[in-house]
Structure formats: structure tokens, C-alpha cells
Chain A
Amino acid sequence: MLILAVPACLLLIWLCTVMGAASVSAGEVNRILLHEIFHFPVDMEGISEGSVAIIRDVRLPRVLLGFLTGAALAVCGACYQGIFKNPMADPYILGISSGAALGAAVGIVLHFSSGAAGLPGTTLLAFAGALLTVLLVYAISRRGKRVPVSSLLLSGIAVNQSLSAFMSLLMLFNQQSMEQIMFWTMGSLNGKGWNQILSILPYVLAGTALLMTSARELDILLLGEETAVQLGVSVERVKKKILIVSSIVTAAVVSATGIIGFVGLLVPHVVRLFTGPKHRFLMPVSLVFGGTFLVLCDTLARSVLTQEIPVGIITAACGGPFFLYLLWKARKGGTA
């Protein structure tokens, strides 16, 4: 069943590329993709320049960015739920989201437009804000050589709250930027292009690959840290590795797209219902499902209303009820 899921996901992604406000037919989309991306010698007669530009420069990068973002968030979420042994853990739990938001808000307020590597200044500031926040949380919760997960969770919540307060304050004094900041925090793939993809791709590829090498340790950590130590896991080292790698991946993704909630929390839970708790299966399947889920949500975001809806709203609106349904079903079945 899971093997069938991969082609199904690919098909969905393709469908999402076909769907959109500007109508380009499925056959045309195929020809454009083959010609422009894979450089196949395909007959391009009858396809307008505009259609080619829409598919190549707008829709395809948007779908790909959506997939990368969703995949990265889902894999990081799965890892965090593993090391925190907490079902409510998601990639933002250590304050990355509010750190990134504050960084972005500062960029927006200061009209920090000069960027680098083809990325806007807000993105760079958000990335810096996210990483600094995680460092702060980490420093606060450290006890000698150890980083207890309970204190990580608590200081994550505390830092999250205070940074949110700062951001509200910033918005209060800069009401002309309020809308822009609000829009940023709701997360969107609108207006993002190949630059964003190229900037996060190395983080996402290297990061998820690194995280997946820890699948075995993550399994054992689910039995508790003490048991893991007794079974020979270098618990603190594994925790550090996962915290650092996930933080960097999440920070990269969040700074490019804004705060897209629920994917990192929901997808690993749903996937676990099908694959069981073993990370060897959980992580790759989360990657595929997370990516597809976000592409789907984004397609909804840009096609249900004439106005573009921030995709974070869609993920929460779809994900919340679906999650509740699964919980309800699991409770009836007796297993979660």
C-alpha cells in the first residue's frame, strides 16, 4: 500500500501543477515540463510564451517549494516527536517560528530590502532570528553536558511567548506594516520562485538525509532515555545532532515561506497510524506525505477563492478536524 502511495503522490503533484487560475491544458503542461525542465526535444508549437512562463517560473517552482517545505517540516516533526517523546511536539516547539517571525518583522519594519543570493532581506533576518532563538533556548536549558528534554520544552514555550510579545509590540508601533507582518506569519508560497528552492534545497536534502541516519536511535529513544543509555545509545549526542540539524532545516524553510503550521505536527501522527512507530519507515513516508499534503493545501489556497489565502490557514483548517477525526477513531479502536 505504501509503495502505491509514492506514484499516487507524484500524480497528485502533477495534478496540482495542472490546476490553477490561468488555464493551461494538461497536454500543454506535459509538453512544457518535458521541454523546459528535462530539455526533451518536444514540439512546442501552439503554446504561448505566457503559458510557458506561468508553468516554468510560477507554478512549478511553487509546487516544488511546497513539496520541499512540507517534506522538511514533516520529517523534523517526526524527529522532534521522537526525542521529546511528546505527541504535541512539532518543529516550532523550541521557538523557531516566533524567532523567525520576529526577524522577519524587524526586516519588514526597517524596510530591509537589500538581500543576498537573490533572497529578500526579510528571509535572511528570519533565518538569523530562528537560529538565534534556538541557540538561546538551548543555552537556557543546558545542565552541564546534558540537555533535559523537559527543560527544553519549558524554555521553548517561555521564549516563544516572549518573542511573540515583542513582535506584537513591534506591530503596535508600526501599524502601517502590520498587514505585511501578519501575512508573513500565516505562511505562504505565493511569489516564491527558484531562488527560494535553491536556497533551501541543500539544507533540506542534507538535513533529512542526516536525520534518517538516526532512525534506529530514535526508535530506542521512544523507550525512554535511560533505557536508551543502557542499550548503548549516546543519548546526549543523538539529541544534540537532531536538535541542531532539525533547527537549521526548519529555520531555512520557515524563513523562506513563513510559518506554515500543523504540517510538522499532524503528518507524522497520521503516518504513524499506518507505518507504526519505527522511524525507518516513519521518516521517509512522512517526507512524501508531508510534501504532498502541503502541495495539496497550497493548490486549495490559490484556487478556492479568487483571493489568495495564506496556506498556513488551509493546513490548520484541513489538518485540525482531520486530526480530531483520527484521534476519535483511534480512541474507539483502542490504539493510538
Chain B
Amino acid sequence: MGERMLELQDVRAGYGEQEVLKGVSFFAGRGEFAALIGSNGAGKSTLLRCICGLLPLREGSIRICGRDTGRLSAKERARLVAVVPQSYAVEYAFTVEDVVSMGRYPYHSFGRRETPEDARAVRQAMEATNTLEFRGRLYNELSGGEKQRVILARALAQQPEILLLDEPTSALDLHHQTEVMELITRLNREQNLTVLAVLHDVNMASRYCGRMILLGEGRVAADGSPSEIVTKKNMERLYQMKLLIRENPLYDKPEITPVRVLREEQTDHPLRIHVICGADGAVKLLEELEERGYLLSAGVVNEGSDDCVICRALRIPHVEIPPFTPVTPEAQEENLKLMEDAEVILISDLPFGQNNLANLDGLERVKGRIFFHKNALSSDYTGGRLVERLEELGRKKKVVYFGDHDEFLKKLGAGLEDGGSRRREEPCR
């Protein structure tokens, strides 16, 4: 990591009575691209305000390139640190070039006005951000993404050692978010710029930043690479909600999928339900059933499928086999064992083929009621053997066909009607 570009030691700061930062310490080396993440009010923006001199420290110290910020003049600091805030409007008719040129202010003094060096820095900054072509246009008339690139150009014109970004993409659409992040990544790589970015999008932080610093309650709660920080434990504590974490196959970085914050209505009959699944189709159903309080089990799932991910995430007992392998008699034996106590067997919307038809073996023996999702018939790759098997099963045991998950959930809620003797135990109204 080498040279310490930014060093925070026990930084405490706040507004009025309220102390927001309660002792933050970390350091960043040259060329690092670190994300600051944390929930609203954790102190991310406050920390940036301290580094760029907008908020005085109560205790502790911040050193930039080895120099204490308390001893730097405003201009000296602006030559070391540049800030890119959220894109904002300017009420006055400045051109793009005017705005970018303002980044040269820290290099000016009373006797020294614009030099060729300034002109070169402004030009380079605009070239690096693809803003040169509209340098004569009014800043106000630009789109959000263009404005943000101009602000980035202004920061580069400062020729800083450290670039601070305060939620630089939150006002932009997906295209421009990606564009701005790619630009910053490129600058980080090509100019070896040290970047510290407040990002509220964890997936974006995980994808672009080599390091993530998680702030919680005014302290550093965790600090490390994306795979160390984006864990179920950290993220659920951060967002106070149910979420899933999986590897994004494209970038090889962990990614979160928010699941739910509000709780579903709870069932007062926690039936045991076994879901026959295994591909990618049962995720939503499994999550919803689990949320409502049913006791679940599942099988036989292929490793790496979405159904497998959610079974692991929700800790649902399940039978797992390697991907693209047939359901062996042993696996099905285990599957049947899980079904033993189930009151409901749900055959989910699952594409059936030669490999997984064995999921239906031995279902005649189980005592639970069998529900079958009709969609499975339209993705039947067994050459008619699925239908034969269902007919055979239907002769020995009743199979209830249903059209969609909501219908199924409603049936469960109604206490399974004919078979639902337990439901009737409720006091009559």
C-alpha cells in the first residue's frame, strides 16, 4: 500500500450537542479506491466534511499526505483534496469552462493570475472527463450526467492527491451512474489517484471499490475487501432487513439483493411444508412461506441454483446434489425422509427432465397432501413421462392442481378446507 495519503486518528466531530463521529480511525494508501458505506446518519458525509475542512474536529487528527489538516491553509488543502458532491444547480450563467477553471483557484494568489499551466490543467481535466466538446455551453443547460462530469473535471483541475466523492451518482440514472463510476475508476487507475467515496449503493461500492469501510454509529464497524464486508451479518445489521448475498457472476464481487423490510402476516398454523424444487423458480415462494412462519423443507436442489441459494440463506433443511447430475435413489431417499412429517407436499413450478423426474418417486408413500403447480406441465422435458407419472400417482393419492402461488397461499390460509380438520378447532364466531 505504501505511502499514507490520508490518515484519520480518533476523529470526533458533530453538530451542536450531537456527536456524530465518535472516534474514527483509518488510513488510505496511494492509489486506493475505498468506499464509505453505512446507513443514513452513520456519519459518512460528516466524515467527508471533516476531511475537506467544512467541519472542525473536536478531537483527533486528520493528516493528508503526512500533513495535519489543522495546519493547512484553505488553498493548500484544496491543492491536495478535491470534492465531488452530488450534482447540483448553479443559478448563474457560468459556462462549463468557467466552472472547470474555478478548480485552479488554489493555485492563484494576488500576484499570480492565469498561467499556461492553468490552461493546460483545465484542458486535461476536460479531456479526461469528455467535457471538452461542450466547454462553451452554459453549465445550467446540461443534463445531470453532464453536470456531474463537469464537477468531476473541476475537481481534477485542482490536481489533487485525493478525490473525495459524496454520493456522486445518487441523482443520476443507471446509464450516467455507471458512466461516472467508470470514469472515476479509470482516473483511479491511470492517474493513481486516491479515492474515497461515500456510496449508498452497496452493490456499486462492491463492484468498483477495492476496499470498503463500513461506518456504524460514528465508528468504523468493519473495514476490508468487498468479500469481507458484504456479508449477510454486516449487511443485515447495516440495513436492518432481510436480504440475500450472492456472487455477481460477471464481476466476481458479492452483491446484495434486498428481500423485505415489512413482515408478512403470520400464520397461526405453522404447517410443515415440503417444497419440491431445485432450479430457479421457487425463490419467491420459499421466501414468502418462510416469512409467514411455515416450517419448510426442500429438495432435491441443484447446487448453484437460485433455489439452493435461498435454502442456504434462509437455512431451510434441504437435499443438495451437484449441478447437472441426476437425482439418485439415495438423494430421493433423503428427500422422502424430509417429507415424512410434512403435512403439505408442494411440487413447485419446476422444469422436469430425465434428471429430476425421480423427485416424484415414492410420493405414494407420504402422508401429506400433494399440490402440483400447473406451470410445470408447460416446461416438461420428459417426453410425456411426467404426465404418465402424475396419472399413476393420481390413482393412488389425490393431487391438487393449482395455477399460481397466490392461489396456493390462499388455499393454505383457508386451512386446506376438506382435509383441514385442524382449522376447525378454532372457536366458532
Contact = CB atoms under 8 A, between A and B. Distances in A.
Interface stretch (B97-105, B261-269, B289-297): B97-105
B28 interface: no
Given A223-B90, A276-B93, A277-B92, A231 B98 contact: no
B339 to A, nearest CB: 63
Interface in B135-150: 138
Interface string B322-337: 0000000000000000
A191 interface: no
A278 B98 CA distance: 9
Given A213-B110, A277-B94, A335-B93, A231 B53 contact: no
Given A226-B54, A278-B98, A232 B93 contact: no
Interface stretch (A49-57, A179-187, A214-222, A243-251): A214-222
A231 B105 contact: yes
B365 interface: no
A234 interface: yes
Nearest to A335: B93
Contacts of A233: 74, 105
B53 A229 contact: yes
A222 B92 contact: yes
B367 to A, nearest CB: 69
Given A226-B54, A278-B98, A231 B93 contact: no
A327 B73 CA distance: 41
Nearest to A227: B85
Interface in B97-120: 98-99, 102-103, 105-106, 108, 110
Nearest to A217: B105
Interface string A177-221: 000000000000000000000000000000000000100110110
Contact of B54 (A85, A222, A223, A230): A230
B219 interface: no
B168 to A, nearest CB: 14
Given A216-B108, A335-B93, A232 B77 contact: yes
A232 B69 CA distance: 13
Interface residues of B, number: 31
A232 B79 contact: yes
B52 interface: yes
A232 B82 CA distance: 9
Contact of A229 (B52, B88, B138): B52
B165 interface: no
A300 to B, nearest CB: 32
B198 to A, nearest CB: 14
B39 to A, nearest CB: 23
Interface string B173-215: 0000000000000000000000000000000000000000000
B58 interface: no
B78 interface: yes
Contact of B102 (A219, A229, A335): A219
B21 interface: no
A232 B94 contact: no
Contact of B90 (A216, A222, A231): A222
Given A229-B54, A230-B78, A232-B78, A223 B110 contact: no
Given A213-B110, A277-B93, A335-B93, A234 B74 contact: yes
Contacts of B129: none
A292 B182 CA distance: 54
B284 interface: no
A213 B154 CA distance: 22
B327 to A, nearest CB: 62
Given A222-B92, A226-B54, A278-B98, A231 B106 contact: yes
B47 interface: no
A210 to B, nearest CB: 11
Interface string A268-295: 0000000011100000000000000000
Contacts of B237: none
A326 to B, nearest CB: 14
Contacts of A217: 105
A278 to B, nearest CB: 7
B260 interface: no
A224 B83 CA distance: 14
B75 interface: yes
A322 to B, nearest CB: 20
B105 A230 contact: no
B158 interface: yes
A195 B102 CA distance: 43
A164 B110 CA distance: 41
Given A226-B54, A278-B98, A232 B105 contact: yes
Contact of B52 (A213, A230, A234, A335): A230
Interface in B263-303: none
A245 B82 CA distance: 31
Given A213-B110, A216-B108, A220-B105, A232 B74 contact: yes
Contacts of A234: 73-75
- A213, A231, A276, A335 — most chain B CB neighbours (10 Å): A231
B103 A231 contact: yes
A220 to B, nearest CB: 5
A308 to B, nearest CB: 40
B83 A220 contact: no
- A85, A223, A226 — most chain B CB neighbours (10 Å): A223
Given A216-B105, A222-B92, A277-B94, A232 B52 contact: no
A109 B90 CA distance: 49
A231 B158 contact: yes
Q: Which 6 A-B pairs have the closest CB atoms?
A: A232-B78, A232-B106, A277-B92, A232-B75, A230-B83, A234-B74
Given A231-B158, A232-B75, 14 more contacts: A222-B91, A226-B85, A229-B53, A229-B54, A231-B78, A231-B103, A231-B105, A232-B77, A232-B78, A233-B105, A234-B73, A277-B94, A278-B94, A335-B93
21 contacts: A217-B105, A219-B94, A222-B90, A222-B94, A223-B99, A226-B85, A227-B85, A229-B52, A229-B54, A230-B52, A230-B53, A230-B78, A230-B82, A231-B78, A231-B158, A232-B76, A232-B77, A233-B105, A234-B74, A277-B93, A278-B94
